Amino acid sequence: MGRNEELSRRDLLKGLGGAAGATLLAPSAMAFHQKGLTTKPDVPLAVEPFKLGDVTLLDGPFLEARKRGERYLLSLDSDRMLHTFRVNAGLQPKAAVYGGWESVATWADIHCQGHTLGHYLSGCALMYGATGDSQFKQRCDYIVAELRACQIAGKTGLLTAFPEGNSLMDAVLTGKKYSGVPWYTLHKVYAGLRDASVYTGNPMALTVLVSYADWAVTATEPLSDVEFQKMLREEHGGMNEVMADLYQMTGDVRYLDLAKRFCHQAILEPLARQVDRLDGLHANTQIPKVIGFNRIYSQTGQKELYVASAYFWQTVVTTRSFVNGNHGDVEHFFPVTDFARHVFSAKASETCCDYNMLKLTRMLFQLAPTAAYADFYERALYNDILASQDPDTGMVTYYQGNRPGYMKLYCTPVDSFWCCTGTGMENHAKYNDSIYFKGPGALYVNLFIPSVVTWARGVTLTQTTQFPEQAGTKLQWKTAKPIELTVKLRHPYWCRTATVRINGKVAVESKLPSSYMELKRVWRDGDVLEVDLPMELKAVPLPGSPQIVAFVYGPIVLAGDLGSEGIAPGADLNVNERLYGEVLKEPYAAPVLKGDPAALLRQATPADEPLSFHLPATGSASSVRLSPYYKIAHRRYVTYWKLA
């Protein structure tokens, strides 16, 4: 990582006063800017997100990706996802069950049946919030009504799609042997109901959610603290987060108490002491726990929860991440000294991990709105989330491996309902949720994405840009009357100098990467800000291995585009993408780059498309074309090069 990108522990935790904490700024509110809540957080927000509907995406890669996501969501059949929920409630199913982890016959012991419905409910709720398209609200309303019917028929409030029915949770709660991750699966349904309530305003969604949560309160009450913590050794998603959310939505302290019980002390305690014990742990099991720590902090002001979440972020982002912002190998954290042994795996960068890291980043930004959080958000958004979607079909990746000459594999539409398929339903629905933030008298511009944000009635700011193909952006005010406001424009970490012009005149020349350029003035209708953000081609070394490098241009990872050699024409690459490393196993000789990074950069020549370059190579090719990784699909690629 670049020097300016790294957050020192001292800077990140400035003002905390060590593990005990001191001056803390704000909570980690998630989606609740959308609707009013019953309770007021103990810790006030430093900055707030805009409602999804207050930001409109304009033409560009993110709008295109969202449209693909819309089409996929509308292609799915709610009744197929509801199949086993109805069976377990004693009701007749209305359609056959889907495949993948939803298939009882094939995946009876994984115990993820039903997770897809939760993700789908969240995805449709987010799409409705972002677009206002009534089709997505209708989907949400239908699923909520069906789940309520299941609750009434089942009489306990519990909702599951496990093949054993609701009896599986009895085994979980009594310490008997079981397989899979039941609490993880239930969490997805809890979260879907929360999002349906928040983004669509459906009152029945809250009714179903409260009944569902009341079951959890009653069912877990007999467990001692020791028994509860033993139960948390298995993956349980973000149960602490969603219970804290429900406390804020209802004011019922029982849910906050349960949220605290769902905090896994074996993870919380070392993080609160700023000790990294992540080696060997399943990565995406831990991130939702940390999101929950942050969420409970906002309700209680317990400083160790904030310290733990901020330290976790700093540790993962600055010491454990690949150039694309993701991390891990075969879903697990590995020792930071072992990067060279893991970098060329086909099973690196599980997409779910960045889904959750972006949630955590967004929450932490609201606590302490520093440019470093926005820098990481941009890096992971382009190089992992946007890159995870098939531009032809809208399907998504599970892993995004670094094996030289490998290629992205995508899920199938109805038989690959893995975890990353589920988070993929949400990823492409919320691109407009972190472009802008608002503080007291201030508007933060974090991302350079074509969009329109509504500050107040009759006051909008339109951002037009072709970034990253254009090294800058333009913002124009439309307002019926003058408005005094401070605009805070991010000077990103990858840009040495940045220049802002207002109505054609230079207003700011910044030489402080990873900072905000502040422009306080009275803005009038038609005022225009133009921002120049020069980009450079750079080599980024792998942590601890200077001879293994990736290439970036500005924030964009450039991968070697190796074409489709050895791939049969018309080959279906929408397959079981969890088989990364099991398919395309035939030997493939990728080109070789020689020399030191600085010498290679001097030999780079622009290609015929924006953001693309040629580098001299040896071995299987005499040159290599570097192209934006997020654009490469159905072709072999190289992200990291071991320099000869």
CB 67 within 8 A of CB 58: no
Residue spans per domain, the chain:
438-467+472-532
Q: Is the pTM for the entire model greater than 0.85?
A: yes
Mean pLDDT of 306-312: 98
User: pLDDT of 344-373, one tens digit each?
Assistant: 998 999 999 999 999 999 999 999 999 999
Between 28-42, 416-430, 524-538, the lowest mean confidence (pLDDT) is in: 28-42
Q: What is the pLDDT of residue 19?
A: 28
Q: What is the pLDDT of residue 37?
A: 53
Between 101-110, 404-413, 509-518, the lowest mean confidence (pLDDT) is in: 101-110
Q: What is the pLDDT of residue 15?
A: 31
Distance of CA 312 to the CA centre of its chain: 16
With b for 16 or more beta-carbon neighbours within 10 A and e for fewer, the 300-335 pattern comes to bebbbbbbbbbbbbbbbbbbbbbbbbbbbbbbbbbe
Torsion angle, alpha carbons of 292, 320, 183, 266, to 10: -70
CB 45 within 8 A of CB 371: no
Please state, in angstroms and rounded to a whole number, the distance separating the CA atoms of residues 237 and 117.
15
3 state DSSP class of 642: strand
Provide the pairing of β-strand 545-553 with 483-491.
unpaired
Mean pLDDT of 514-542: 98
Please state, in angstroms and rounded to a whole number, the distance separating the CA atoms of residues 78 and 86.
12
Please state, in angstroms and rounded to a whole number, the distance separating the CA atoms of residues 271 and 259.
18
3 state DSSP class of 439: strand
DSSP state of 586: S
Sequence-distant (≥ 6) Cβ neighbours of residue 444 within 8 angstroms: 47, 369, 374, 436, 437, 438, 488, 490, 516
| Mean pLDDT of the residues in the chain | 91
Amino acid identity, position 33: H
Between 202-211, 234-243, 408-417, the lowest mean confidence (pLDDT) is in: 408-417
Please state, in angstroms and rounded to a whole number, the distance separating the CA atoms of residues 108 and 93.
18
- Residue 109 backbone zone (phi > 0: left; psi -120 to 50: alpha; other: beta): alpha
pLDDT > 70 in the chain, percent? 91
Please state, in angstroms and rounded to a whole number, the distance separating the CA atoms of residues 347 and 549.
19
Q: What is the pLDDT of residue 190?
A: 98
Least Cα distance to 219 among 263, 156, 267, 127 occurs for 156
Q: Provide the CATH topology of domain 438-467+472-532.
A: Immunoglobulin-like (2.60.40)
Q: What is the pLDDT of residue 570?
A: 55
Distance of CA 238 to the CA centre of its chain: 14
Token look-up 């933030």 returns 437
Q: What is the pLDDT of residue 45?
A: 87
Mean pLDDT of 556-582: 71
CB 204 within 8 A of CB 148: yes
